[in-house]
Chains A and B, each alone.
Chain A
Amino acid sequence: MPAIKKTPIAYFTEAPAVLEALQQLADKYDEPGSSHNYKKLVISDTLDGEGYQYVNLVQEGGGVLGIALVGYTYILEKAGIRFMRLAGTSAGAINTTLLAVVKEDKANKRTSSERILEYLCEKPFFDFVDGHPFAQRLIKWVVKTEHFAKRIKRCGLWLGIILTLLILLDITSFGLLFHDPMFEGVAITSFILTGIVLMALGFVGGYFGYLIQRLKNRGFGINPGKNFTDWIKMIMEKNGVNNIDDLEAVSEKIPAGLQLRPDVPIDKNLGDNPLKGLKPDITLITSDIITQNKIEFPRMWNLFRENKHEIHPAEFVRASMSIPIFFESHIIRDIPRHLPIIQTNWRNHLLLEPQDIPTAVRFVDGGILSNFPINVLYNPEVTIPRLPTLGIELDDSTPTDNTMNQADNLSLGAYIGKLFNTVRYYYDKDFLLKNSLFRKGIGVIKVSDYNWLDFNIPEEKQRELFVLGAQAAAKFLLEDFNWEEYKTARIIVHQQVNTSRKDMRGASELLTQSRK
């Protein structure tokens, strides 16, 4: 039975730093009238009937650091911002799904983020670590212990010294016992102690061997991730999402009274309908290591099943957060690859021919291919943006990375780590290098002091992460982001890249105004 904890959400939302961040925003953006109305804040040209501004949002993955994402979205929502298209990977995929599924409670004036926080407050994160008890203890120990590798080395060294001393004592006492019977007791005790140490080592080695065999039998994952799947499924079902149809219904529901700000230049390519293409959706990223592809859920569900009811949307989130080794990879078996519709879908989505369609796929964390999938929200057709694409980045790089100036002197671990990171970050980095404009919409949360795998993270640290997210969001809105600048830059980029068959009249007017 999963544990229930009860921390009031006020513990997070009424943290002094969070209240201060909201106050700073109110000081800058409030118009006369009710306090904290943030009416002067302009971040998008897309509004709904209640005056909320809409943005697209991408959230980066980062294990338990994802609590900071909730802090960030909490401030955005409090400032009157709502989300059109959402995308995320791993922890970002979790918050993306929850933002789409857990709707605002208007009666009690609770934003989606506050309701998400309620669910998080009821759940001890260590429940998600549902592997073998020994592995659970080991994970707690490794995560809590600073310089774990050094300590293990030191333990090994001490064990070696003890064993060497015992063997030396065996040899010495054995030689001396033929001269003085007094050494007989010392010798036999020493032999027995040596035997116990060797047996203990053998037992530990055997146990590790068993655990590794077990790991192999269970898809090279320490934790089955079943508790997580049950949890996310429970939240979905409580909010009326039992299948893909339900998920699409809630995540693609067009906000009531959706409109553009009056007097904003309209993209002439949109024809009579300035709202054309403005439709909410969500994208969760995962990596399939069988066909070696990036998979976008829910869009690509039809690669694996013929009917929507045959796959639960909780599986999409589970697939996206399958941190390799830490969680078992998520497998979808028995793909009906003989069906023409499935073959067509594989050809359309991934350009795979029928003979190349596998019988089963195996998903690991989307973060190994695209941890910050901002590219999925890029729409090259739009000449004048109607809303910005914002991103939340979790920056866990240590300010003093001592390997930066040691290209000639990397340890094997650092070498392999850098190799892996170069590959896994390049997909997203490449997009941002080519579309540096999107950088303007990215808020960064500095989380280098926290361990992304610390599922046993105490509540105080959870609150610190939430506060960091909230502060980063406030800084982004107060200092970093300017919608008009963003819009202008986006138009210029579009003109430079793609002007051939587009009607740029509206964009030109806007640029002229901007120059003036």
Chain B
Amino acid sequence: MDKFIRIDGLVVPLDRANVDTDAIIPKQFLKSIKRTGFGPNLFDEWRYLDHGEPGMDNSKRPLNPDFVLNQPRYHGAQILLARENFGCGSSREHAPWALGDYGFRAIIAPSFADIFCNNCFKNGLLPIVLDTASVDDLFQAVIATPGYHLKIDLEQQSITAPNGMVYRFEVDAFRKNCLLNGLDDIGLTLQHVREIKEYEARRKTEAPWLFT
């Protein structure tokens, strides 16, 4: 997994609540058996005027000029500013894959759906929860200011705005450590092989029907 330490990234505002994983990456693209290549189809139904299917040349498809990601001032954005309950719905990890493949490294919102949030951390994508008032402030600032960047420092758990305002955020210590060091969860868990085997041995006597 890619490390996440600090970034200084362009911010794009996606001003709607309850953005679900079907919107982030529509189901027809879930037929892929790979982890990569989802970026061009991120927010496909909002981003393009035609209907997208796997295998199409996305560079030739008509873009929806009203969709915020298509506005030239937001090209190259690494930070997505969003509203509450971002990533609700399906458990598809294709959602963070698509966001990461597009180039996003962090998402700021008042709240995230649990499974999506979990999936982000497994893919080097940092979901940051800020209170609604701070998110409102950021929405106003980013819309008012072309080229609006934020500095995100995971070590310090801080976001610094161009005006010097600093927003602090909480992050689970374990996940923070994994992101800072790009650690692989499976490798970490396999350090506990002995305990897993002991648990199984004990459980087999307590609840043998689980092992038939």
A and B part of one assembly: no
Q: Which residues of B contact A (CB under 8 A)?
A: none
